[in-house]
Amino acid sequence: MSFRNQIGWVRRTFFGDPARRFAWTSLILTISLAIAPTKEFFTDWRQYQRQFLKLIHGRSDSAAIESRFASGIQQIWIPEQNVVDRCGTCHLALKEESLRDVHMQPFRPHPTIPHSLTDFGCVVCHGGQGAATTVEDAHRGTKAWEQPILPARFLEASCGQCHLGTLEGTPKLNLGRQLLARYGCVRCHTVTQPDGTVVASTDDSPPLGHIAEKTSREWLFAWIKNPQAYAASATMPNFQFTDREAADVATFLIAQSTPSGGAQAQVSGEISSGKGSSTKSSSAESSAVKSSSDKSSSAKPGADAGQEGASVYGTAFCSSCHAVQNAAGNIVGGDLGPELTRIGSKVNPDWLHRWLKDPQAYDPRTQMPHYRFDEKQLAMLSGYLLNKKDDGLLANAQVPASESDSVARGKKLVAEYGCAACHQINGVNRPQNFAPDLSGVGSKPLAQISFGPGSPETLPDYISGKIHDPRAAGAGLKMPKYALTNSQIEALTIALLAQTDRAANLPKALILSAAHPSDYQPGGDAGRLMNELRCQSCHSINGHGGDMAPDLSWEGSAVQRPWLEEFMRNPNTLRPALIRRMPKFNLSPAEIKTISDYMLSAYEAPGFDSGALDTHALNADAAARGKELFYSKYGCQSCHIADYKKDKGYIGPPLAGAGNRRPAVWIYRYLKNPQAVVAGTQMPNANLSEDEARDLTAFLMTLKAKENGGAK
């Protein structure tokens, strides 16, 4: 039978008359109508609901779980966040604590969190298409519909949409926000948080207006080419300059340098003593500084001087702020100041001497205190630091010679690459709107992103890739490359993913702002001294300052005058287990009295006055009962030392000198509620009775040994 005959047969058989046409059309329509409910029966969510019922069947608590089970599509609507969430349609065990033994998704219970799953749903934290009811649509994203599930390693970013301060349980988010501020990212990029606050930089980029006094063009070249070759812990990025470009920038920085106040004072001193010309031109000042520098560099400290310098370095506790790289290659020390591993290869000897003598004369905003070193100490410490050098650093630096237009080219590069965003540079204004605003980068549309070859086309991959290799997407880009570890890049990515449009539009009631530091500064003569000593580089006072040392906001109620004055005269180690202590500042008796008077009167806590405790009750009988409580009932000697000869507690501070240091009312209130007196202390609240707290106070007030272990 030919093809034409076959077509004719089909037409006659199925559509030969109206009855046949109606019958077959009805059958086809019936089959078509049956496809939709059949397809609906096999949808993802219905299959998961059937699997869930099979999973719980036979369990001892199946009846209770099944009574809470609701078939069909489950939806949460959060109108104030414009969120529709149907995740519970498949994730049926989110609130079923008894199913903790189930590890198969989507039937695992949700981990315990401080939020209501009913009130917040899933997509607010996890992302995804909340309105979707298939796995593919709910979990994936496209360039047209960009709400894929947020990978688990970036999940802390969701917490950062509401929680703008440091949050327990989100270490990566906390680190990322710290890095944004510490590495100077926000000096070029604006990052505005949902509450309207702008993230401020916490880095301490040095001013370059007097850089020629401090170092050489050769060192600047080596530093600009590769900062981490000089200091492994350096936070300055690598701008990937060519040798010619780096040399031009170094030439310009030397050319724009002017004498600092310290250098001018030195020149004036030499002129007034008859050692120099009366001409006060900048060239004369520079010559005087250079001459002094040459003289200082000719003095080479011997081995004894090096050991004595190490002693000064140690007793000044320079390592609390500055790190050095040890023989094993590990960075040891603090990070408040720059690394000193190769400081001798960097600084001019005369500048170092003047810096150690009075750092604030060179940089009035430095965090380094004025130590009041005498000339012998200055010489020993300078010699010790100048011996910390790497001769190969500059020997291997092939610096191109300066050319007639090097200064002009260098200045242009400095302006183009935004160096003045971090550093004070003469003749160069700080750039405005220099880099893209990152306030909403966590919602950046994928269609607006230029992905590099082979890069996964997701927002987390774009952000982390941009941080890892900023210029991978184009040769003309200027963002420098930072020396960051993979964990730091991940933390920064999390912090930036938290900057979303959703967060910016959240109801104000959901935004938990960070505690904003105050700008408190102590006043009067004491305030001037405390500022000169940079007390707030380490201590916080009334919400302003560092966290390296104890908060001094209520110090006037926490110490006795004789102890405070002796401590400032000769600081000792308050905890045997801690190496760090406050350095000695060589304060005069008058200066000690000025600061003590101010602290004891201005920094008093409410409720700690002398009338708050009946000191007559702190008698010998009470002290005896307190001693019994200390050693027997509460076993305080497990953490504290009351007797240097027999106690071995090194976890908490020694109490052998508590009677000299603390006022009785402070001890009493601390024992009653440690956290109310010192926020964050690890001392547990023993819920002492009034009598127990009083008796323990009486005993502790009898302890008057010197805090170095000797008898008073």
Condensed to tens digits (0 to 9), the pLDDT of residues 379-416 reads 999 999 999 999 888 888 889 999 999 999 999 999 99
Tokens representing residue 553 in the block: 């906001």
Q: Does residue 482 register a pLDDT over 50?
A: yes
The predicted pLDDT at position 36 comes to: 61
pLDDT tens digit string along 295-342? 344 445 455 667 899 999 998 999 989 999 998 889 999 999 999 999
Banded model confidence at residue 282, pLDDT cuts 50, 70, 90:
very low
171-202+434-496 maps to CATH 3.90.550.10: no
The predicted pLDDT at position 285 comes to: 40
Mean pLDDT of 272-290: 44
- Looking at the DSSP bridge assignments, the partners of residue 84 are 77
Banded model confidence at residue 556, pLDDT cuts 50, 70, 90:
very high
Q: At which residue do the structure tokens 């980068």 appear?
A: 441
DSSP state of 389: -
Q: At which residue do the structure tokens 């600047």 appear?
A: 220
C-alpha to C-alpha distance for 582 and 568, rounded to whole angstroms? 9
The predicted pLDDT at position 213 comes to: 96
C-alpha to C-alpha distance for 680 and 698, rounded to whole angstroms? 25
Mean pLDDT of 82-105: 91
Least confident window among 112-121, 218-227, 275-284, 556-565? 275-284
Banded model confidence at residue 263, pLDDT cuts 50, 70, 90:
low
Identity at 85, one-letter amino acid code? D
Banded model confidence at residue 292, pLDDT cuts 50, 70, 90:
very low
Asked if 259 contacts 213 with a C-beta cutoff of 8 angstroms, the reply is yes
Banded model confidence at residue 267, pLDDT cuts 50, 70, 90:
low
C-alpha to C-alpha distance for 604 and 598, rounded to whole angstroms? 10
The predicted pLDDT at position 264 comes to: 63
Least confident window among 173-187, 292-306, 448-462? 292-306
Sign of CA dihedral 273, 274, 276, 280: positive
The predicted pLDDT at position 143 comes to: 61
**671 φ/ψ angles, rounded to the nearest 5 degrees:** -65, -35
Asked if 422 contacts 184 with a C-beta cutoff of 8 angstroms, the reply is yes
Mean pLDDT of 653-659: 93
Mean pLDDT of 697-709: 83
Q: Does residue 35 register a pLDDT over 80?
A: no
- For domain 524-602, which CATH number applies: 3.20.20.70, 3.40.50.1820, 1.10.10.10, 1.10.760.10? 1.10.760.10
% residues pLDDT > 90 (the chain):
63
Q: Does residue 209 register a pLDDT over 90?
A: yes
Structural class in CATH, domain 610-700:
mainly alpha
Peptide bond between residue 436 and the one before it cis (omega within 30 degrees of 0): no
The predicted pLDDT at position 651 comes to: 87
DSSP state of 459: H
Higher pLDDT residue, 296 or 20? 20
Residue 616 has a CB neighbour count (10 Å cut-off) of 6
Q: At which residue do the structure tokens 């405070």 appear?
A: 564
The predicted pLDDT at position 270 comes to: 53
Asked if 410 contacts 624 with a C-beta cutoff of 8 angstroms, the reply is no
Tokens representing residue 584 in the block: 């000695």
Mean pLDDT of 600-607: 93
Q: Does residue 161 register a pLDDT over 70?
A: yes
The predicted pLDDT at position 262 comes to: 65
C-alpha to C-alpha distance for 145 and 136, rounded to whole angstroms? 12
Q: Does residue 106 register a pLDDT over 60?
A: yes
The residue among 564, 702, 512, 709 whose CA lies nearest residue 620 is: 702
**340 φ/ψ angles, rounded to the nearest 5 degrees:** -115, 15
